[in-house]
Structure 1
Amino acid sequence: MDIPKGMLSSLQELVGSHGVQPVLSRAPGRIEVLGNHTDYNGGVVLAATIDRFVWALGILSDEVRIHSIDYDDTFSFSPQDIPKFKVTSWTEYAKGIYWALNRRKHNPSGMTAVVKGDVPQGSGLSSSAAFEVALTNLVSELNSLNLPPKAAAMIAFEAERVYCMVSCGVMDQFTSQLGQPNSLIGINCQNLQVRHVNIHDDIKFVVVDSMISRAAGDALNQRRHECQQALRILNEAGWNIGTLSDIDSSRIDDLDDVLEEKLSQRVEHVVRENLRVRKGIEAIQHNDLEEFGSIMFRSHISSRNLYEVSHPNLDMLVDMATRHEGVLGARMTGAGFGGAILCMVKSKNVTNFVSYIQKRYESETGKAAFVLECDIPGGVQLQKM
């Protein structure tokens, strides 16, 4: 496992000559392949790791002291006395990890660490989850906690969802932790069961970033609130469901009898998106790539029309992608309101597609789209240096 240039020297600057072998943790970002906004509704998702990472290199120490090479910023705190959450930032995510570990009575010692990442931020590729998973596994290794993979993913999730109060589901952390090379990962976000589905060499996933930064935290929280509101109303009407994902698709037509139009649309998206994930897994397993691509397109339309989390530039990119002969499917990926789309492209057409989409998008918007051809490396890795 390669270590980014400057990490070892940065750690040495923090701790001096220590004679202790540091541990390197590397966690990947992820692409959401199918399952838009289903994870926090108890549904199923299909995702994959990408070959963009967050690295964390550290040794044990009394206090927690972490230096970010990317931000050129250092902060410290006591591992036993976690300050209250202030505002969402990389420093708060780190505090959240120790908070979650202490909450589960692991009570780890401090560490001195340096972190660095190349996961694009604000693009829906889960740079925050990669950071959380990298740090969680580093702390676990340094303290010999021997956390099982799912337990480590849950610590990383609780750092963001509970401590930092970000409206996220478990998909991001579970994918970064549990992903496997050259495979998609299917996650049931209600019972946390995981399955891996091999993908084929003749396709490649390509991320196209609109360069529209997501600035819609309130809107995302509103979507979650709407889903909770719909769940409450349906149960008051006698539906007796634990999550929106418990609703059978045969009852979609009954939603309008109970819910106002907006809430009905939100629920319909969740129910149908869960179906799309399951059908997508079947299509990949049977090498029916055209069907899988069609499911991707339908997912985008639902996210745009029913869940209303797309953006005009994302819609433009998907429309452009559909016009290229090498593209089998395209959809927005991540939370929405900006960020990126994900395209499934025939491997032989990738180079031509990248040139095409960059030229078309810049011609229409004046913005240079960032394009990432994704290899799928698998989940978090640890190595003594």
Structure 2
Amino acid sequence: MSPEDVALLGVQHRRGRKARPFDVRSRAPLRLGLAGGGTDLSPYCDQFGGAVLNATIDRFAFAHVTPNDEGRVVFRARDIGADESHALDAPIALDQGLVLHRGVYRHMVETYLDGRMPALTVSTTIDAPAGSGLGSSSALVVALVEAFRAALDLPLGPAEIARLAFDIERNQLGLAGGRQDHYAAAFGGVNFIEFLPGEKVLVSPLRVPRAFLNEFESSLVICFTGQSRRSETIIQEQIDGLRGMDARTIDSMHQLKADAALMREALLQGDMRGLAEILTRSWAAKQRTAKGIATPAVERLFQTALDEGAWGGKVSGAGGGGFLMFFTDPENRHRLITALNAAGGQASPAKITFEGAEAWGVPR
């Protein structure tokens, strides 16, 4: 496909209609890391196999791909006010600027357009702050890949999109992190995901009865600590501990993986109190894998939640800030949210979503 074909964004090829210019929009959901987070890191999953339980929620990363008349490629991250423009005859570096936008664009150009750079505007927004612990950066890469999949009419399913997004973010861009976020964003829903040696990934959607999902949502409170965190330091310390076969780190990872399986069973049985107990135990295990996971702000909000009747909770993601999640009696949820907000957090309910990454065309 040529850069000129991109101006039509592939819709006419699928539908056999007269060519009309379309813009492409896409979105990919953010996720709560319920259990097993960290076991999707190499070298742990390569040697022992990892397992995570996560659920996507009603927060999204959005991407928009539009041909422009500027004769340049323009990248915008509107939620953080970043904007950059590149000439079509100059290489795009991957070590500065909006590296996620750059990485996906460059991969698509080199892989599917024979290196010929089309004049596009690629803009994004995310429904959560950077460093939220909701897998926002990986969801953004998935949304970008999904947008280009639709624009170029590529035969990629959710597994291929997740694998490609992982490769771009972790291997091509060299950004530290695990694997679960890409698969959660690509597939959506409540999933038990196993990461096995040989880079084999098994995604098992959970068939949770509707009544149990209703109780899950009604019991759930998420709370932004007000601190965005950079997870690279925490993740690198975990990786170093795994490479050095540090017994404390490995034992904690074993506990996290076991808790993922136990939490899956608790959710399938509708046992929210049991789920909360496993969540809290996993939180203790996660704190043993690296320093700085529990900050003073995290500890203050966690204690506030317990004082206000939360059954249990943990940080979503690597830790060091970002979002906390708690479970409580649904009749107590409003009081818990009010108390967390009064203590300096930004608490709210959240709903489970079941659609993964999706794209659609908008006629210009």
Cα separation, 2, equivalents of 1:297 and 1:73: 38
Q: For residue 26 of structure 2, what is the amino acid of its counterpart?
A: S
When structure 1 is superposed on structure 2, of 38-47 and 269-278 the one drifting more is 38-47
Matched, 1:37 2:38: yes
Equivalent residue number for residue 328 of structure 2: 345
Q: What is the match of residue 234 of structure 1? A: none
Residue 16 (structure 2) aligns with: none
Q: Is the 8 A contact 2:24 2:65 kept in 1?
A: yes
The separation in 2 between residues aligned to 1:315 and 1:140, in whole angstroms, is: 42
The reply to whether residue 214 of structure 1 matches residue 229 of structure 2 is yes
Query: CA deviation digits over 1:258-304, x for unaligned, max 9?
Result: xxxxx211001111110000011011111222211110010111112
SS in 2 for 1:193: strand
Q: Name the CA distance, whole Å, in 1 between partners of 2:276 and 2:299.
A: 16
Q: Does 1:187 align with 2:193?
A: yes
- Write the distance in 2 (CA, Å) between the matches of 1:330 and 1:187: 21
Partners of 1:283 and 1:312 lie apart in 2 by 30
Q: Which runs of 5+ in 1 are unaligned?
A: 1-17, 231-262, 362-367
Question: Structure 1 residue aligned with 2:216, among 186, 199, 203?
Answer: 203
| CA deviation after TM superposition for structure 1 residue 81, in Å | 7.2
Please show how residues 94-243 of structure 1 align to structure 2 within 5 Å: 94-101=101-108, 105-107=111-113, 110=118, 111-180=120-189, 184-190=190-196, 191-197=200-206, 198=208, 199-204=212-217, 205-215=220-230, 217-230=232-245
- Give yes or no for contact 1:80–1:102 (8 Å, CA) kept in 2: no
* Counterpart position of 2:257: 274
Q: State which of 246, 263, 268 in structure 2 corresponds to 1:285.
A: 268
Q: Give the partner amino acid of 2:238.
A: R
The alpha carbon displacement at 1:100 in A equals 4.2
Contact 2:304 2:339 in 1 (8 A): no
CA shift, 1:75, in A, is 2.7
CA contact (8 A) 1:203 1:345 kept: no
1:321 and 1:343 in contact (8 A); partners too? yes
Aligned partners of 2:264 and 2:294: how far apart in 1? 24
Q: CA RMSD in A?
A: 2.5
User: Structure 2: which amino acid aligns with 1:278?
Assistant: A
Q: Look up the SS of the partner of 1:272 in the other structure.
A: helix
**Pairwise mapping of residues 1-40 of structure 1 onto structure 2 (< 5 A)?**
20-40=21-41
Q: Does 1:370 align with 2:354?
A: no
Q: What does 1:289-328 correspond to in 2, within 5 Å?
A: 289-308=272-291, 309-325=293-309, 327-328=310-311
Matched, 1:382 2:359: yes
What letter matches 2:358 in structure 1?
Q
> Normalising by the residue count of structure 1, what TM-score does the alignment of the two structures yield?
0.76
SS in 2 for 1:53: strand
Tell me, in whole angstroms, the C-alpha distance in 2 between the residues paired with 1:229 and 1:84.
33
CA contact (8 A) 1:167 1:224 kept: no
Contact 1:54 1:130 in 2 (8 A): yes
Mapping for residues 243-282 of structure 1, pairs under 5 Å: 263-282=246-265
CA displacement, residues 143-169 of structure 1 (integer Å, 9 cap, x when unaligned): 011211111112211222112211111
Q: Distance in 2 between matches of 1:306 and 1:321?
A: 23
User: Shift in Å at residue 127 of structure 1?
Assistant: 1.9
Number of aligned residue pairs: 322
**Deviations 1:21-67 (CA, angstroms, capped at 9, x unpaired):** 21210112211111131111311111111212222222357864333
Q: Which amino acid aligns with 1:225?
A: D
Structure 1 equivalent of residue 10 of structure 2: none
Q: Which runs of 5+ in 2 are unaligned?
A: 1-18
Aligned to 1:236: none
Distance 1:82 1:146, change over 3 A: farther
CA contact (8 A) 1:27 1:177 kept: yes
Q: Write the distance in 1 (CA, Å) between the matches of 2:108 and 2:249.
A: 34
How far apart, in 1, do the equivalents of 2:67 and 2:174 lie? Answer: 28
| Conservation of the 8 A alpha-carbon contact between 1:39 and 1:169 | yes
Code of the residue aligned with 2:56 in structure 1: it is T
Q: Which amino acid aligns with 1:200?
A: L
